[in-house]
Amino acid sequence: MGGNGGKPDIQVALAALKKGFAKKIPDKVEEIHQDWVRLKSLPEDPDAFQLLHMHSHTLAGTAATYGFDEVGKLAREIEITVQDTLTEDRAAWIDAALDHVDTLLEKLHSVVQGGLEHEQPMEQRPAESFSPGTNGEAWGRLIYLVDDDLDFLTTMKMQIQAFGYDVKAFIDLDGFSEALKDQSPAVVIMDVMFGDHPNAGIEHIKQINAGREQPLNTIFVTGSQDVLTRLDAVRANGLAYFPKPVLVDHLIDELDRLTHKIEEEPFRVVIVDDSQEQSAFAALTLRQAGMETREANDPLQLLNVLAEFPPDLILMDIYMPDCSGLELSKVIRQMEAYVSIPIVFLSAEHDLKKQQGAMRIGGDDFLSKPVDPWFLVSAVTSRAQRGRMIRRLAETDGLTGLLNHTKSKERLEAELARAKREKTPLSFAMLDIDHFKHVNDTHGHPAGDRVLKSLANLFKQRLRQYDTVGRYGGEEFVVIFPNTDKATAKQIMDQLRVSFNAISHFSEGESFCCQFSCGIAAFPDVDNGTILNDEADRALYVAKEGGRNRVVVAGE
């Protein structure tokens, strides 16, 4: 075979394609549904028959190819039912097939409405040969902890459990292997060294992964810090590597990241190219990979496009009539709001020196035209992902992952402006953990940090996606509730207060509980961000004065 494709790129492209296709499935099912409705009302119409046949045939083939086996199977069954009777008396056939096709369509709809979740993604099709572990369901919060150090095992187990994980501890590799046959965990935390074997943990994972379609999500922990061991861990598909003593908070962050697979928003890409065909091609390629795009064919319009559609990445042609891509990127880089957006240049330019010039000005990458569509998707995906991560670091609080003070205030102003525009209510809550200093003094700062994180996690899990949670600093948090009146906001905060009270926190074998007090202010009572902030703060003060562990609405 000529050439070769980098495997990771292929997987990225494949996953992107699959995601793009998944989005189209509901429409395709609806199309078949409409064909069927039409056929029922016009039994003698040959076109209606043809359409139903063609659309079910197409969906059967494509869905199966993309690994949506259930959808493919159901569509295939509809196709076969239709095919069997193409030449017979249609009205009679419709009567006979009515229930069957209706049931199939109903099943199709319910698979689609189920979010296609229980459909097996094609990259996770079970291996043809039997492999241990692939049959057991991986459980969302189940962690396997493997280490021959009993002290480490018991303390880590307890600490990880405090964050709501279900931890099974194994003191030897054999016990771990046995357990894998019954159930695959969400994550394996594996010691590197066992007895006299310096790399036994890594070797063991490699061996297990070799027999699996999907490698285990593995975090390695080790007393050794040398590069070769780290490299070896990476080769065994290790997703993280923690030197001992393990910082529990970092470990929990990693576990949260690996187990909370929150669906990311699609990447937003602005394409700047004076040629409409060129930009349309790039846009099509990226959209098919599930991204959102805007095209700017007049480079001078770019700033307007950016203001309206803040992107994760800008894809820019380097030669354009009015101004060059290099000049334009200088302009973008001079604007604070866009300073961290990755810019990728696209051009027929092969001259290495010019490419370097482009990089110096602030381009992040350079792709030569004609660019292979798959390469374009994977290049854009990796840059956009990194860009998002950098932005997240700058805008969020490192401990809790919530928006930081500055960003929270910005968000409040933006949401308030929107509430005014759309004439909808908005509530703003400010809360403070009660006697937090006492927690830190009695149980130590690591325990205090865990309390803060558990509150953040609780809020993230329980609030709606469009609510904003921020950490103002210390033990003070804020929540912005768009389109929510103060009575509803109070109700929600009260529920959260009760839930938070129920969480047990652990420190050195001791358990304790925490509470918080909360103040709420709302638009349209107040129509200014600063005053909203002050009013909520004042209500919080009233809650504290009133005996803590309560929610107070400003002016009530």
Partner 1 sequence: MQALERILYAEDEPDIQQIASLALEVVGGFSLKICESGLVALAEIEAFKPQLLLFDVMMPDMDGPTALEKIREMEAYRDTPAVFMTAKVQPNEVQRYLDMGAVDVIAKPFDPMTLASQIQTIWERIEG
Pattern 257-296, binding to partner 1, x per CB under 8 A? -------------------------------x--------
Considering the complex, what minimum distance in angstroms separates the CB of residue 112 from partner 1? 16
Cβ atoms 330, 362 nearer than 8 A = yes
Stretch that binds partner 1, among 8-16, 102-110, 265-273, 325-333 (CB under 8 A): 8-16
Q: Which residue in 29, 32, 39, 60 binds partner 1 (CB under 8 A)?
A: 60
Which residues have CB under 8 Å from 487's CB, separation 6+? 553
By the rule CB under 8 A, 62 interacts with partner 1: yes
Nearer to partner 1, 57 or 407 (CB): 57
CB atoms within 10 A of CB 57: 17
For 18, the token pair is 């699959």
Min dist. Cβ of residue 537 to partner 1 (A): 55
Contact 513, 503 (CB under 8 A): yes
Residue among 8, 10, 150, 348 that touches partner 1 (CB under 8 A) = 10
Instruction: Provide the 8-state DSSP code for 238.
Output: E
Structure tokens at 457: 């996690």
Closest CA to 374 of 67, 124, 14: 14
CB of 7 to partner 1, least distance (A): 9
User: Is 61 buried (19+), middle (13-18) or exposed (0-12) by CB count in 10 A?
Assistant: middle
User: In sequence order, which residues have a C-beta less than 8 Å from that of residue 150 and are 6 or more positions away?
Assistant: 171
Q: Which of residues 13-42 bind partner 1 (CB under 8 A)?
A: 13-14, 17, 21, 24
Q: Per rule CB under 8 A, is residue 64 in the interface with partner 1?
A: yes
Per-residue contact flags (x/-) with partner 1 for residues 122 to 151, judged by CB under 8 A: x-----------------------------
Instruction: For residue 265, give the amino acid letter.
Output: E
Question: At 430, phi and psi to the nearest 5?
Answer: -125, 130
Q: Which span (106-114, 345-353, 366-374, 528-536) binds partner 1, by CB under 8 A?
A: 366-374
Query: How near is the Cβ of 36 to partner 1 at its closest, in Å?
Result: 20
Residue ranges in 373-432 that form contacts with partner 1 under rule CB under 8 A? 373-374
Q: Tell me which stretch binds partner 1 (CB under 8 A): 54-62, 235-243, 415-423, 546-554.
A: 54-62
Q: Is 78 in the site for partner 1 (CB under 8 A)?
A: no
**Counting contacts by CB under 8 A, is residue 210 touching partner 1?**
no
| Candidate residues 26, 43, 61, 121; the one interacting with partner 1 per rule CB under 8 A | 61
Count of residues engaged in binding partner 1, rule: CB under 8 A? 27
C-beta of residue 186 within 8 angstroms of C-beta of residue 139: yes
SS3 readout for 485-553: CHHHHHHHHHHHHHHHHCCCEEECCEEECCCEEEEEEEECCCCCHHHHHHHHHHHHHHHHHCCCCCEEE
Residue 57 interacting with partner 1 (CB under 8 A): yes
Whose Cβ is closer to partner 1: residue 24's or residue 405's?
Answer: 24
Catalytic positions, written as ranges = 475
State which residue, 210 or 247, has the beta carbon closest to partner 1: 210
Using the minimum distance from each CB to partner 1, give the nearer residue, 122 or 200.
122
CB 67 within 8 A of CB 121: yes
Assign residue 3 a region (left: φ > 0; alpha: ψ between -120 and 50; beta: otherwise): left
What is the SS3 assignment for 44?
coil
Contact range with partner 1 by CB under 8 A, out of 4-12, 354-362, 405-413, 525-533: 4-12
State in angstroms the smallest separation of the CB of 346 from partner 1: 19
Q: How far apart are CA 6 and CA 417, in angstroms?
A: 47
* Minimum CB–partner distance for residue 25 and partner 1 (Å): 10
Which residue pairs from 173-177 have beta carbons closer than 8 angstroms and sit at least 24 positions apart in sequence?
173/146, 173/200, 173/201, 173/204, 176/144, 176/146, 176/204, 177/132, 177/204, 177/208
* Among the residue ranges 268-276, 367-375, 398-406, 547-555, the one whose residues contact partner 1 (CB under 8 A): 367-375
Using CB under 8 A as the criterion, what x/- string covers residues 95-124 for binding partner 1?
A: ---------------------------x--
Under the binding rule (CB under 8 A), the answer on residue 213 touching partner 1 is no
Residue 261: name the closest of 121, 408, 359 by CA. 121
Work out how close the CB of 374 gets to partner 1 at its nearest, in angstroms, rounded to a whole number. Answer: 5
Indicate the residue among 17 and 179 with the shorter CB distance to partner 1.
17
Q: Which residues of the chain form contacts with partner 1 (CB under 8 A)?
A: 1-5, 9-10, 13-14, 17, 21, 24, 57-58, 60-62, 64-66, 72, 76, 122, 288, 372-374
